């Protein structure tokens, strides 16, 4: 596994080593030992999967402490633009984001640490999206920011008129209008 560092510390892209032959391909999609050695020590406790069609935009979501989550995400069918936004108060990259295209063909994975809002837009006719979480889902700890917050300036690579949103995702507040529950100076993994 190759770890590709991004402009925001802790947010990384993972590229697996793929073995191809006449039968197809094989790769190790996750190794706890290698992940903890190369990225950070994380114990994933829940796997989720979603299936969406072109234009679906999910996000930007996070869970508040003590139920904050890291996510390791990948696409097994289709293509998405995946986005992580730094929402840690006091962070030198607060309000900045990293976006990466994840596809069934490139097999890349994206690690979003605790303290980030996460979302994705579907670029292909259909996408199957999988993610590992290091904390269980807790509905009482849900938080979110607006996908179209102009201060973030995210290019979701789909026309805004084509964005298919849930009722909840259509009305989240802007980043400037929330009090982030994350502090850059705190260790979010204790």
Exactly one of 30, 61, 67, 97 is catalytic; which is it?
61
61 flagged as catalytic: yes
DSSP the chain: -EEEE-SSTT-EEEE---EEETTEEE-----HHHHHHHT------EEEEEEEETTBEEEEEEE-TTS---EEEEEEESEEEEEEEE-EET-TTTT-EEEEEEETTT--EEEE-TTEEEEEEE-SSEEEEEEEESS---GGGEEE--TT-TTT----SS-GGG-B--TTGGGPPPGGGS--SEETTS-TT-
189 is catalytic: no
Of 30, 131, 184, 189, the active-site residue reads: 131
How far is it between the farthest Cα atoms of the chain? 54
CB 187, CB 115: distance < 8 Å: no
Residues annotated as catalytic are: 61, 131
């Amino acid at each position: 596994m190759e770890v590709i560092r991004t402009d925001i510390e802790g947010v990384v892209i993972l590229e697996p080593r793929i073995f191809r032959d006449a039968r197809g391909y094989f790769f190790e999609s996750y190794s706890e030992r290698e992940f903890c050695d190369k990225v950070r020590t994380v114990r994933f406790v829940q796997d989720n999967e979603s299936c969406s069609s072109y234009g679906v935009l999910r996000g930007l979501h996070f869970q508040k402490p003590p139920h904050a989550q890291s996510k390791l995400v990948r696409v097994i069918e289709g293509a998405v633009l995946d986005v992580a936004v730094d929402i840690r108060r006091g962070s030198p990259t607060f309000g900045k984001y990293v976006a990466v295209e994840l596809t069934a063909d490139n097999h890349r994975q994206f690690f979003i640490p605790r303290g980030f809002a996460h979302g994705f837009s579907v670029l292909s006719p259909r996408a199957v999206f999988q993610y590992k979480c290091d904390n269980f889902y807790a509905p009482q700890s849900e938080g979110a920011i607006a996908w179209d917050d102009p201060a973030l300036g995210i290019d979701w690579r789909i026309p805004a008129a084509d964005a298919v949103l849930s009722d909840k995702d259509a009305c989240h507040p802007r980043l400037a209008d929330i009090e982030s529950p994350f502090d850059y100076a705190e260790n979010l993994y204790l």
